[in-house]
Amino acid sequence: RTLEVSGQYSGPPALPILGNGLWFLNKQPDEFLPIIQQLTDKFGDLFRFWQGPEFTLYVARPSMIETILTNKHLTDKSGEYGYLSNWLGDGLLLSKRNKWHARRKAITPAFHFKILEQFVDVFDRNATELVDILGKYADSGKSFDMFPYVLLYALDVICESAMGTSVNALRNADSEYVRAVKEAANVSIRRMFDFIRRTPLFYLTPSYQRLRRSLKVLHGYTDNVIRSRRMQLKNKTDEARTVSDEFGTKRKDAFLDMLLQTSINGKPLTDLEIREEVDTFMFEGHDTTTSAVVFTLFNLAKHPEVQQKVYDEIVSVIGKDLKKPIELSDLHDLSYLEMAIKETLRLYPSVPLIGRRCVEEITIEGKTIPAGANIIVGVFFMGRDPNYFERPLEFIPDRFAGEKSVEKFNPYKYIPFSAGPRNCIGQKFALNEMKSVISKLLRHYEFILPAGSTAEPLLASELILKPHHGVPLQIRHRGH
């Protein structure tokens, strides 16, 4: 049936059995988007190709994407996501149909905006650490790559928010836990782009051994925190819930505490289910935010007039006292900064491609999508398409201003957080976190592109879009 309907789509010629799989053989992460760009130039915003025997549809047409992202037969993830399952199990990102639906419903209240308020202090405290650590670069004027520093900040934030514990990554970048997160993410994602590692031969490689060791550390850590918090919860006394424990617990309620009190059909979540969700937050919640923060700082450095406008807004909302902690209401008021972040996510969406698998044949706009087909949604390419955005390669935050915001005009052409029932559950959390850390950094430092480096960073697309060689920037103390 798949072969029968494949004729409805244009696409490159494919070899028997291998299909177009050779294109993706042992490719580097910076080669992937250019391949899709070439195919888009030739076949437009809808085409098919074969990854070995797997039929794959590429779609970057907003009207079709609306149907795809809202259709209940299309909530399953495509095969590539499976390489994360050793780590994330059936957590929200990977789980399927009824299991996903029940868990999403149960977990959604934990992301209510009222609850998110308690993380504002976590963002602010860790951003103060980051500012402190970067001080040496402002003193020396040397250019440096922002990415690894923001990554450690984001790890500290998500760890404290998800588990209520402090790994202190910014001060202890080489800790076992931090190394394990990086290793597990690296190996799992690299598998998607490597022919050998996609086969069971992977289990014979040193990469698998490294993944196993990392997962032992990560799962062990989460299991221990869950056990300890469950015990405290049993004791029920407030004191037991707030005192620092062996993991350096700082706050009353992390996502994990809420999960411990969550049930599905009257049954509390098991330790394994909680671990899967917490690990999913750890994975989804650090690289994504890091990339978005770093690309925003790059755009602000490249466009000093926009940076000045963002800075003026920050001063008018928070004032000039560098010690004043930021509050939730301040974050809401930083609307121009939010526009700059949203415009950055249009050009540099942290998740550049979204994958789905079709479980039952459906027809969209007269085209048949067969059961078993993989679908790739071209988030990155829609954001840069001149049919949808005027002067698409220019950084113009005002596109997102008020009533004429491009978001309102056709929401499905701008989907950095995906859309529909399986969109990003952490979107509000992430926006608040990004506004908090960027405003803190800008209160202290001016961001400058090193001389001669105005070009766009080389982009690497793994599951997450990243600058392949980092983003070198200079910072200067703001004179007060």
Residues that bind ligand HEM in the complex, under the rule CB under 6 A: 77, 92-93, 104, 280-281, 284-285, 288-289, 292, 350-351, 354, 416-418, 422, 424-426, 429-430
The Cα angle at residue 199 between residues 195 and 202, in degrees rounded to 5: 95
Please, which residues have CB within 8 angstroms of residue 77's CB and are 6 or more apart in sequence? 93, 94, 96, 355, 356, 357
> Residue 181 in contact with residue 218, Cβ under 8 Å?
yes
Closer residue to ligand HEM in complex, CB, 14/310 = 310
- Least Å distance between CB 471 and ligand HEM? 16
- Least Å distance between CB 169 and ligand HEM? 15
> Residue 111 in contact with residue 425, Cβ under 8 Å?
yes
How far is 322 from 315, CA to CA, in rounded Å?
A: 10
Closer residue to ligand HEM in complex, CB, 144/429 = 429
- Least Å distance between CB 422 and ligand HEM? 4
Of 180, 174, 424, nearest in space to 281 by CA? 424
- Least Å distance between CB 31 and ligand HEM? 22
Which structure tokens are listed for 290? 């890091």
Contacts within 8 Å (CB) and 24+ apart, 1-6: 1/361, 1/370, 1/371, 2/55, 2/370, 2/372, 2/373, 5/368, 5/369, 5/370, 6/48, 6/55
Closer residue to ligand HEM in complex, CB, 14/293 = 293
Residue 217 backbone phi and psi in degrees, to 5: -65, -50
> Residue 421 in contact with residue 104, Cβ under 8 Å?
yes
Alpha helices in 171-205 (DSSP H): 176-192
Closer residue to ligand HEM in complex, CB, 14/460 = 460
Closer residue to ligand HEM in complex, CB, 39/293 = 293
DSSP designation for 22:
G
- Least Å distance between CB 42 and ligand HEM? 26
> Residue 124 in contact with residue 218, Cβ under 8 Å?
no
How far is 396 from 299, CA to CA, in rounded Å?
A: 10
Closer residue to ligand HEM in complex, CB, 137/388 = 388
Closer residue to ligand HEM in complex, CB, 180/354 = 354
Closer residue to ligand HEM in complex, CB, 92/460 = 92
- Least Å distance between CB 375 and ligand HEM? 11
- Least Å distance between CB 91 and ligand HEM? 7
Closer residue to ligand HEM in complex, CB, 422/466 = 422
How far is 444 from 137, CA to CA, in rounded Å?
A: 12
Closer residue to ligand HEM in complex, CB, 104/478 = 104
Query: What residue type is 20 in one-letter code?
Result: N
Of 43, 18, 12, nearest in space to 378 by CA? 43
SS3 state at 170? coil
Stated as kind and residue range, the H or E segment containing 51 is: strand 46-51
Q: Which residue is nearest to ligand HEM (CB)?
A: 426
Tallying the residues shown for the chain, one arrives at: 480
- Least Å distance between CB 316 and ligand HEM? 25
> Residue 436 in contact with residue 120, Cβ under 8 Å?
yes
- Least Å distance between CB 284 and ligand HEM? 4
Closer residue to ligand HEM in complex, CB, 14/441 = 441
- Least Å distance between CB 352 and ligand HEM? 9
> Residue 413 in contact with residue 379, Cβ under 8 Å?
no
Of 422, 350, 340, 420, nearest in space to 379 by CA? 350
- Least Å distance between CB 376 and ligand HEM? 11
Closer residue to ligand HEM in complex, CB, 134/431 = 431
- Least Å distance between CB 300 and ligand HEM? 16
Residue 142 burial (CB count, 10 A): 12
N- to C-terminal Cα separation, the chain: 69
Residue holding tokens 């059909």? Answer: 265
SS3 state at 248? coil
